[in-house]
Amino acid sequence: MHDPQFLYLRHGQTDWNLEQRLQGRCDPPLNETGIDQARHAARAVASGGVDVIITSPLRRAHQTAQIIAEHTSARIIEVPDLVERNFGALEGKRLVDIAGAGASGYDIALRDDLPGNAEPWDTLCARAEHVVTQWQHEMARQDILFVSHLAVMTALCDVLSIPRIDVKNAHPYRFQKLKDRWDLNFAFR
């Protein structure tokens, strides 16, 4: 029996990432760089093995999962609760217009003072924790890769008491429970 662990991957790049637009539930596809990133991630993930890919239904995540599945023969399961945080009226806006010069996705993703129709941070945290716990329990003997989004991974770090990191597009990360705490590292170098 090994310590509980799983892989997590943020989707590949989209044009909105390049334009520094807040994507949220909007659904832009991967751009050519994002497709290349997903292919590179697929080769890395294939070398370590993955049995099942649990993905957000948003196109950018699902496209990333499909590219990885082609290289690994892993089956894909789409899970609505892995969808990105709803940022309400801020979705589609440029980060600089929302938070000023030098703003990053983190500057918005973690805020609690978003417009009233945005998803509360604690709701996102509960959703992320539930998904991972459920699938780890249901597929305890399988190697799982979750493909999702920046805010979802950051919420997961919060609930597992892991320091937040600058999550790169299409970089596989390994969450691993070591005794009584969770750890996070790049899965493959």
What pTM did the predictor assign?
0.93
DSSP state of 21: B
32, 40, 62, 84: which one is catalytic? 84
Q: Could you read off the pLDDT tens digit of each residue along the chain, which spans 189 residues?
A: 456 889 999 999 999 999 999 999 999 999 999 999 999 999 999 988 899 999 999 999 999 999 999 999 899 999 999 999 999 999 999 999 988 887 777 778 778 888 879 999 999 999 999 999 999 888 888 999 999 999 999 999 999 999 988 889 999 999 998 888 999 987 775
Helix 121-138 vs helix 150-159: crossing angle, to nearest 10? 80
Is position 129 annotated as part of the catalytic site? no
Is position 11 annotated as part of the catalytic site? yes
11, 62, 149, 171: which one is catalytic? 11
